[in-house]
Chain A
Amino acid sequence: MDYKGDIYYIEQILAGNSYSFSNIVDRHKNKAYNLAFRICGNHEVAEELAQDSFLKAYRSLRSFKMRSSFATWLYRIVYNTAISHVRIKKKGVLSLEDFPVDATDFMGNNTSEEEAEKEYRSSLVNFVLQKINEEERGLISLYYYEEMSTEEISEVTGISKSNVKVKLFRARQKMLEIIERVEKKKLIYHE
């Protein structure tokens, strides 16, 4: 079915057709779930947080002014829900030892080396994301996965555009430092 645009479905919902919300959920669920997952780092919790965010969005749909895009408004809800959840339930710090040193550790029975390398990189990013703080995780996710501009990120997070740039720079630096350490450990392991 052709997607008729967020505003069309929002008007339908406000007119009493609550089932139109399923079109909106279908449209945005993956990005909302991904953002929640990158911030909390756990699939079950991410599902709960994303569902909770959609429910919050539905409840306060009347307060959506349609000035910004619906996606930006929804991501703001997901971002705030995930950040507050993580702040309440702080996890223990992961050690570098917790991360496998070899891509072959990610090889299943039918996995090629290339696929295993992809899986390794993806898991490494997830691991590194858990080593930076929740706010930085959110910013990195919005910038790299949702491919938002710093201006859009500022709208979602409520952090000024210049501050978004500074925080992104710091987060990037931290992540690269950790990646470098893991890669060094990998080299030593192979020598």
Chain B
Amino acid sequence: MNNQEKYKEDLLRQYINPESIEKSPEGFTSKVMTNIQMETMRLTASERLRKKNLVPIISAIITVLLIVSAFIIPGSQSDSLNPTVLSLIKSIKFSMPEINLSSIFHLNLPSVMTYVFIGILILTLFDRALYGIFHREK
């Protein structure tokens, strides 16, 4: 800084007193905190609403997609989809493992009941897993 600049700086310092800063008005902090609390509450409410509606929204999207695809792909033109994919789907054979619970529990139940129980067990676990995902609190 040359002499002229220094002189000008000093001259201006005669007018500007750093100690005479404008102080914030009374209640400034509480106003800021009120705004913050309001915003936090608003965000929490919208977050809850979003979480609550997530499952129905996803289900609705999937349903709409299925309906639209049913209209777009008529049954007669299914061959035009992709022959390789269709033939692959057709070739899938569902084979269930042989489970015989009667030998364990000594019960005389129809064989299909074994699969029903296993199905219920899997669905219950799946339901608990989904509940854990969508109802997780912050």
A interface list, Cβ under 8 A from B? 18-19, 21-22, 25-26, 29-34, 37-38, 43, 46-47, 50-51, 54-55, 58-59, 118, 121-122, 124-125, 128, 140, 144-147, 169, 172-173, 175-176, 179
B35: nearest residue on chain A (CB-CB)? A55
Query: Roughly how many angstroms separate A21 CA and B12 CA in the complex, as a whole number?
Result: 36
A172 and B9 contacting across the interface, CB-CB below 8 Å: yes
Contacts of B31 in A (CB 8 A): 51
Instruction: Tell me if A122 and B20 are in contact (CB < 8 A).
Output: yes
In whole Å, how far is B5's beta carbon from the nearest beta carbon of chain A? 6
Count the A-B residue pairs with Cβ separation under 8 angstroms: how many? 88
Which residue of chain A is the closest to B1 with respect to CB atoms? Answer: A165
User: Binding site of B, secondary structure by majority: helix, strand, loop or mixed?
Assistant: helix
Partner of A172, one of B12, B24, B35: B12
B residues adjacent to A (C-beta < 8 A): 5, 8-9, 11-18, 20-25, 28-29, 31-33, 35-37, 39-40
Q: Are B15 and A25 in contact (CB under 8 A)?
A: no
In the complex, are the beta carbons of B8 and A176 less than 8 A apart? yes
| Bound-complex Cα distance A14 to B39 (A) | 16
Specify which chain B residues have a CB less than 8 angstroms from the CB of A32 in the assembled complex.
Answer: 24
Q: Which of B8, B13, B24, B33 contacts A22 (CB 8 A)?
A: B33
Q: Which residues of B contact A51 (CB under 8 A)?
A: 28, 31-32, 35
Assembled-state Cα–Cα distance A51/B37 (Å):
13
